Amino acid sequence: MNQQNYICIKQAKTEQSDMPRRYVPRPDAGLQAAFDAVPDGQLKTLAAAIGLSPQAVVDWTRVPPQRVIAVSEYTGVPPHVIRPDLYPPRLFSQSAA
């Protein structure tokens, strides 16, 4: 496993000294931008705001297509930043004439 592409999440146990580590894929740039824009910086806050459990969100490597708009509305990060493959930047950079 190439650990540069993964982040470590400590899973809580009853004893602080015996916390197992779980490696999950590193999020893409759009998902990281959304995580960084969460007001209190907590994943569980984002999950609750879009009606999901934190466990569902922690496994994302990128925002699923059906969640892009909800994540964008909550975080203020534009959809073309979250998923440029689905919302091309050129569509959002055109000025209204």
Within-domain flag for 68: yes
Within-domain flag for 49: yes
Tally of domains in the chain: 1
pTM more than 0.85: no
| Helical ranges in the chain per DSSP H | 29-37, 43-49, 54-58, 68-75, 79-82, 89-93
CATH number (domain holding residue 64): 1.10.260.40
Within-domain flag for 43: yes
Check: CB of residue 81 under 8 Å from CB of residue 91. Answer: no
Within-domain flag for 62: yes
CA 13 centroid distance within chain? 24
Residue 92 is predicted with a pLDDT of 62
pLDDT along the chain (97 residues), means of 10: 49 50 71 89 90 90 94 94 90 54
Within-domain flag for 32: yes
Check: CB of residue 82 under 8 Å from CB of residue 31. Answer: yes
Within-domain flag for 58: yes
Domain range for 61 is 27-93
